[in-house]
Amino acid sequence: MGIDREQCIKQVNQYIDAHREDMMQFWKELVSIESGNESQKEGVDEICSKIAEELRGCGAETQTIQMEKKGNFLLADWGKGREKKPVLFIGHMDTVFKEGAAKQNPFRVDEDGNAHGPGVLDMKAGLTIAVFIVKALNDAGYNERPVKIAFAGDEENGHRESGAAAVMLEACEGVAAAFNFETGYLDDGLVVGRKGSFRMTVEVQGVASHSGNAPEKGRNAILEMSHKIIELQNLNDYEHGTSLNVGLITGGTVVNAVPDHCEIKIDIRFTQKERLDQLLEKIDEILAKTYVDGTKTIVHKTVPSAVMEDSEPVMALFHHIEKTAELTGYGKVKPIKVGGWSDSSLVASKGIPVVCGLGARGKGNHSPEEFAVVESVFERAKLIAASVILLDKDLV
């Protein structure tokens, strides 16, 4: 049986208005649980369990995918078995912050109505929004589409040490649309494009020698790497959205020895796979050169992360949200492209309509200055819930 969509939206809005304090408390509890990507698997897993319990409370089926090294992955299905294709809510439960960040910078709301704390924007506000949309839809009796949840535990490092990317790709099979509750932007830009990313580690092995007694016998690994770094940095092509950053370097052991080892880590961002391929050819040429005789270069490459392009399916979902924003009085939203990677890139690679940056509006990701606009948590929850309710036909 169909639903009265206008009435359903009204009931969802009433639920959200009536549960503002519950949403704030849930958000605060998530921020207070430290879930840094590097070393706080226990915290990520605690958040995973907490969200799963909340979703089960409104009738969702949940499954926790255990990860050995990184945080677990949460899958959930609410309204499973309905005739229409499901929508997918995407998010991640990890942050970039180190141990102790929640004590140094606890959750708080300032006099301007902005919330602060590690991960308050990226993306524990988004997790809160997604969970309470499901609770509100359940309370309003929405019964047209299932809602699937896919929350990863290691998005901040691109799933490079787990099988989470494969889980995410499997989760998006057969969905009508995907909504990613990543960081929202202050100007109400909704993300329809993201750069792909690629990382490399380059090692140079040299020959150690005493820098006073026999410097001529040494083969300086740092010197060899320095030549390479200068040439690598010259490959940046900002005009076409391709960037290369040598972000980390280590080498040597003591100041009075010719260093026999140097290592760098490179982060590459790109807008088209073809441009990445062209860049990698040039990188290989540089790394194949030897500037200091007797040194050896070793290269370790990762699998590139997909680009999110503003494709026809992506723009179809954006325009649906845009129209919903106008109909419901939310206001104007606009499409934007950004440099950072997210799981939306994976989903978009399957041809599925997906829009990113649907979480709370704010600024300062990955820094102590990170903040989220409190009122936007409730506004975005209403907007995306209405977008789900009004998605009466499949977009592609």
Higher pLDDT, 112 or 157: 112
Mean pLDDT of 8-16: 99
Mean of the per-residue pLDDT values for the chain?
A: 96
Mean pLDDT of 328-337: 98
**Range with lowest mean pLDDT among 43-47, 305-309, 316-320, 331-335:** 305-309
Q: What angle do CA 272, 276, 281 make, to 5 degrees?
A: 150
Predicted pLDDT of residue 303? 76
Indicate the burial class of 374 (C-beta count within 10 angstroms; 0-12, 13-18, 19 or more).
buried
pTM of the complete model: 0.87
pLDDT one-digit tens code per residue, 118-144: 999 999 999 999 999 999 999 999 999
Question: Is 288 a residue whose pLDDT tops 90?
Answer: yes
Mean pLDDT of 157-185: 95
Question: Is 362 a residue whose pLDDT tops 60?
Answer: yes
Question: Is 158 a residue whose pLDDT tops 90?
Answer: no
Domain boundaries, the chain: 5-194+307-389, 196-301
Residue 115 β-bridge partners: 109, 372
Task: Provide the total of helices (H) and of strands (E) in the chain, helices listed first.
Answer: 11, 19
Predicted pLDDT of residue 319? 98
Structure tokens that stand for 63 in this block: 């499954």
Question: Is 381 a residue whose pLDDT tops 90?
Answer: yes
Mean pLDDT of 305-319: 94
pLDDT band at 100 (very low <50, low <70, confident <90, very high): very high
Higher pLDDT, 353 or 303: 353
Question: Is 76 a residue whose pLDDT tops 70?
Answer: yes
Which of 208, 194, 156 is CA-nearest to residue 38?
156
pLDDT one-digit tens code per residue, 238-287: 999 999 999 999 999 999 999 999 999 999 999 988 999 999 999 999 99
Domain made up of 5-194+307-389: CATH architecture: 3-Layer(aba) Sandwich (3.40)
Question: Is 1 a residue whose pLDDT tops 70?
Answer: no
Q: Are 186 and 365 in contact (CB under 8 A)?
A: no
CATH topology (fold) of 196-301: Alpha-Beta Plaits (3.30.70)
Question: Is 184 a residue whose pLDDT tops 80?
Answer: yes
Mean pLDDT of 190-214: 96
**Range with lowest mean pLDDT among 5-14, 30-39, 303-312, 335-344:** 303-312
Predicted pLDDT of residue 290? 98
Residue 395 Cα distances to 189, 193, 364, angstroms: 21, 18, 34
pLDDT one-digit tens code per residue, 48-71: 999 999 999 999 999 999 999 999
Residue 175 Cα distances to 15, 89, 254, 263, 345, angstroms: 26, 10, 57, 43, 15
The verdict on whether omega for the bond into residue 123 sits within 30 degrees of 0, i.e. cis, is yes
3-state class (DSSP) for residue 8: helix
Higher pLDDT, 196 or 137: 137
